[in-house]
Amino acid sequence: LFHSVALAPRDPILGLNEAFAADTRPGKVNLGVGVYYDAEGRLPLMRAVREAERERLATPTAHGYLPIDGIAAYDAAVQQLLFGAEAAAVTERRVVTVQSLGGTGALKVGADFLHALDPSAKVAISTPSWANHRGIFENAGFEVIDYPYYDAASHAVDIDGLLAALDGFAPGTIVVLHACCHNPTGVDLDTAQWRQVVERMQARELVPFLDIAYQGFGDGIEPDAAAIRLFEASGLPMFVASSFSKSFSLYGERVGALSVVAASDDEARRVQSQLKRVVRTNYSNPPTYGAALVSHVLHTPALRAMWEDELGAMRERIRAMRRGLVARLAAHGATGDFGFIERQRGMFSYSGLDAAQVARLAEEFGIYAVSSGRICVAALNEGNLDTVAGAIAAVGR
Ligand code: LMR
């Protein structure tokens, strides 16, 4: 049966965890996967989450099935974070949200639903994009195409290239956009550029599919949702895949959501019924634990305030690490101006290192990064900053 099965390549991001785990050098550093570590290099258990766990444990509950679309209170909390409580789509009940297995699960449910709707539509992703975007949409049956996004020379968005590409797409093309903290570049559109994108997409009748996995890591919970709010105000039908893996440090609990904005309450109910079919035929219904914790925190004012404070501190620590990296690179005599690292947002920096230099970082220094040159700044700390800067300077010479 399996004689013709080919060996699949290692995942370009999660595969690095395997290589890192196999490395026996004590000073090794994992800058691969997008995970936030604290100043001591530990994966945080957030205080708000710990408190929610304690409060929930006080009244033990049996482990029943969730509804197919998840915990209703969780879905409502997601809508408020993404769109704002006052958004017309929310108050007019035109948004449907289904709890999903992380952001990846949300993308997959949306992709399956869209493919059933129009299998001939193309899906456009940014150059570069999160490595899994292409795989998810191709596996759902779509042809995936690219649009220009990052200009390496200026370390900025190639807005002219992006807008020209949108103008050339056929109506109905699904355009995957990173709502904030673009993965892998850390370079986002500004508000004026988002407005231009929304206008072009409206004119061309394109379908926005926003991916927001890092809300709160850019400028804050509200400002990071600005692009979603602009699209919502435009009245376009839209998709949003969101995740709490990073913002609640609940990676392994797979807590995400897919939200779809429709033209009417009635349309939304019909979309919801189809999303539930996709979920039911893939994995039946979602797991309880992580979403119950998130819902508990978001619906308990004191815990919500605690969470926002903690998230703010994480954001500030990443910014400090960006400043620290730029300063140490200069101190190590690294070739070139790395000031752009401070302007990038979210967990990642697109360092400009090529695949050969990234391979040297792993082989010679035990420092693991994505072969595209993406490094996870959120894994830096005072204990490893100097080693990392020295190694980057060395491979850049
Ligand atoms: C990443 O890009 O590192 C994260 O989104 C984790 C993942 O699933 O790839």
- Do residues 181 and 347 lie in contact, with contact meaning Cβ atoms separated by under 8 Å? yes
Active-site pick, 28, 69, 75, 130? 130
If you measure from the C-alpha of residue 203 to the centroid of ligand 1, how many angstroms do you get, rounded to a whole number? Answer: 33
If you measure from the C-alpha of residue 13 to the centroid of ligand 1, how many angstroms do you get, rounded to a whole number? Answer: 7
pLDDT band at 237 (very low <50, low <70, confident <90, very high): very high
The answer to whether residue 211 is catalytic is: yes
Q: What is the residue with the minimal CA distance to atom 2 of ligand 1?
A: 34
Active-site pick, 69, 112, 211, 224? 211
- Does the CB atom of residue 183 touch ligand 1 within 6 A? yes
Nearest ligand 1 atom, CA 183: 2
Whether the pLDDT of residue 244 is over 90: the answer is: yes
Q: Give the pLDDT confidence of 126-160 residue by residue, as tens digits.
A: 999 999 999 999 999 999 999 999 999 999 999 99
pTM: 0.97
pLDDT band at 17 (very low <50, low <70, confident <90, very high): very high
CA distance 297 to 52: 6
Q: Give the pLDDT confidence of 284-310 residue by residue, as tens digits.
A: 999 999 999 999 999 999 999 999 999
Give Cα 178 distance to the centre of its chain: 7
CA distance 256 to 98: 9
Q: Any bridge partners for residue 174, and if so which?
A: 123, 207
Whether the pLDDT of residue 224 is over 90: the answer is: yes
pLDDT of 160 reads 98
Handedness of CA 335, 340, 346, 352 (dihedral sign): negative
**Backbone phi and psi for residue 374, each to the nearest 5 degrees, phi listed first:** -70, 130
- 196, 134, 210, 138: which is closest to 166 by C-alpha? 196
pLDDT of 337 reads 87
* Mean per-residue pLDDT, 6-20: 92
pLDDT of 227 reads 98
The answer to whether residue 130 is catalytic is: yes
Q: Give the pLDDT confidence of 361-372 residue by residue, as tens digits.
A: 999 999 999 999
Three-class DSSP labels, 260-323: EECCCHHHHHHHHHHHHHHHHHHCCCCCCHHHHHHHHHHCCHHHHHHHHHHHHHHHHHHHHHHH
* Mean per-residue pLDDT, 336-356: 93
- Does the CB atom of residue 379 touch ligand 1 within 6 A? no
The tokens for 180 are: 């904030």
Give Cα 5 distance to the centre of its chain: 32
Amino acid, single-letter form, for residue 381: N
The domains found in the chain, sorted by start residue, are 14-45+304-396 (3.90.1150.10), 72-287 (3.40.640.10)
- Do residues 225 and 195 lie in contact, with contact meaning Cβ atoms separated by under 8 Å? no
The answer to whether residue 354 is catalytic is: no
* Mean per-residue pLDDT, 346-372: 95
Tokens 């994992």 sit on residue: 30
ipTM: 0.95
Q: Give the pLDDT confidence of 246-289 residue by residue, as tens digits.
A: 999 999 999 999 999 999 999 999 999 999 999 999 999 999 99
* Mean per-residue pLDDT, 32-58: 96
* Residues 6+ away with beta carbon under 8 Å from 168: none
- Does the CB atom of residue 218 touch ligand 1 within 6 A? no
Strands 143-148 and 207-212, bridge-based pairing: unpaired
Q: Give the pLDDT confidence of 59-115 residue by residue, as tens digits.
A: 989 999 999 999 999 999 999 999 998 999 999 999 999 999 999 999 999 999 999
Whether the pLDDT of residue 351 is over 90: the answer is: no
Q: What is the residue with the minimal CA distance to atom 5 of ligand 1?
A: 34
